[in-house]
A and B are shown apart, each in its own frame.
Chain A
Amino acid sequence: MQGERIHRYAVATRISHWLWVIAFGALVSSGLQIFNAAPFLDASNTTNTAHHLFALPQPADGSPAVPGWLTIPSYRDLADGRRWHLFFAWIMVICGVTWLISSAIKGNLRELFRSEHGVYNLPQRLSYIVVIFVIAPIIVLSGLALSPGMDAIAHPLTWVFGGRQFARLWHFAGMLALVGFFLVHIFQVLTHGVFNQLNSMITGWYRREA
């Protein structure tokens, strides 16, 4: 018995979703490449060389702290890691802002806040709201706070995160939270009718269970 077909995702949502998948992979991998240049975190404005809050162990053979199979490029290259990161940061932001505006205009955003008879259940709505309105802004703003040029334009931006090194910590923690969301999200998709889910994120049409 076939279930009812519903149009679940707008075209802007579908395009943004897959662009985000690419940008997310590029940003995490290139971010870890950048992190390898200073694989430690401090909860202060400046680096606390005497005692870091957190530091990855540096392998004795001189290989990077985060292994190459997790970084872009796979060999050590801070310059190229930055090239990837600063490019895909723009893709992520342009895509995110476009999606947000188009969803707000078309009213799709309301689905996230609708409590009854909505497309999404409560845990879904909560996690999407936290990712879109809490973690994503923290990631973008804490990343910008690392820029000396941005800091010169707006001191409060770096200040609210507790300084430049603290902003690195926020940026890193935000990344871990997004990776956690990603793992749960993939698990959910794979265990709740993966082909129906994938199909709906490509064509927009989702078949409700009969």
Chain B
Amino acid sequence: MKRRLFVASTIATALSACSPIGTALNDNAAFHNLLGSAQALNHLVIGTRGMAKEYRERDISPDFPIDSLPTPTDARYADLAADGFANYKLVVDGAVERRTVFPLAMLERMCNMTQITRHDCVEGWSVIAKWSGVRLGSVLDIVQPRSDARYVVFHCMDKDDQGTPYYESLDLHQARHPQTILAMRMNDAPITPDHGAPVRLKVPTQLGYKSAKWVARIEVVGSYANLYAGSGGYWEDQGYEWYAGI
């Protein structure tokens, strides 16, 4: 009996020790930084290679969760939506040779990519949907990033309850990936407001938080360090990895 008690208490101690020790280490800045070092390794080993698997029409999921910041409700977005986004214009500027404003009709004429791909959320769930739009690479070909350009930043129309806007960034290699698109259609219909109308990013080789909804402006930069909290994205500023391939 004594031995059983000894065994049970040792196992219970071992199990319950992980969380408090881990939490204390987690709150230590130096250890927290050490943990973050895996990101560089993952980026190096996995990177952005190959093509995301493309599926058949019948693989499309019946439901696509709306799991993002709330759909914009401000007057500017309401005005755009009232006209079916006919007055929407995408501004592409920053470290580019030719700053360009793309009206929605122009982006629709440029449509050159349809994909049925899986959306992998950082939370763990996955759904498959069909997306049509213009390759981001085609947009970059028009604006021509300058030689000092390294990242493409997406400024979005959605804000959290503190008023902080959503934004994301990709490096030029990820931005020029043939499956990285500015999507305007989802499952053969114009993207609905809840899914990021009129233009959202779709990056099937990365976790879902990279696929920014409600894109208003694309800024090409040499560094994202001076934007917002400096980590290159809304979720990145809250501790998520910039490299979202895993």
* A residues in contact (CB < 8 Å) with B: 25-26, 28-30, 34-35, 37-38, 45-47, 49-50, 68-75, 77-80, 82-84, 86-87, 89-90, 146-155, 158, 163-165, 168, 183, 186-187, 190-191
Contact = CB atoms under 8 A, between A and B. Distances in A.
B228 interface: no
Contact of A151 (B22, B32, B47, B53): B53
Interface centre among A49, A75, A82, A152 (most CB of B within 10 A): A152
A29 B52 contact: no
Contact of B65 (A49, A79, A153, A165): A49
A74 B235 CA distance: 20
Contact of A149 (B41, B128, B246): B246
A153 B42 CA distance: 13
23 contacts: A29-B18, A37-B124, A38-B125, A46-B128, A50-B62, A72-B19, A74-B20, A74-B22, A75-B23, A79-B235, A80-B26, A86-B38, A148-B206, A149-B48, A149-B205, A151-B118, A152-B53, A153-B46, A153-B50, A158-B53, A164-B120, A186-B7, A186-B11
Interface string B133-146: 00000000000000
Given A79-B238, A86-B42, A47 B127 contact: yes
Interface of B: 3, 6-7, 10-11, 14-20, 22-23, 26-27, 32, 34-39, 41-42, 46-53, 59, 61-63, 65, 118, 120-128, 204-207, 235, 238-241, 245-246
B46 A82 contact: no
Given A148-B246, A151-B118, 19 more contacts: A37-B124, A50-B62, A69-B16, A70-B19, A79-B240, A83-B241, A87-B37, A146-B246, A148-B120, A148-B207, A149-B48, A149-B206, A149-B245, A151-B120, A153-B50, A164-B118, A164-B126, A187-B11, A191-B3
B241 A82 contact: yes
Contacts of B239: 77, 79-80, 83
Contacts, number: 164
A180 to B, nearest CB: 12
Contact of B18 (A50, A72, A89, A148): A72
Contacts of A149: 42, 46-49, 205-206, 245-246
Nearest to A163: B126
A89 to B, nearest CB: 8
Given A49-B65, A90-B41, A148 B205 contact: yes
A150 to B, nearest CB: 6
Contacts of B118: 45-46, 148, 151, 164
Contacts of A158: 53
Contacts of B10: 186, 190
10 closest Cβ pairs, A-B complex? A149-B245, A72-B22, A38-B124, A79-B239, A147-B246, A37-B123, A47-B125, A152-B50, A149-B46, A25-B18
A163 B26 CA distance: 32
A61 to B, nearest CB: 19
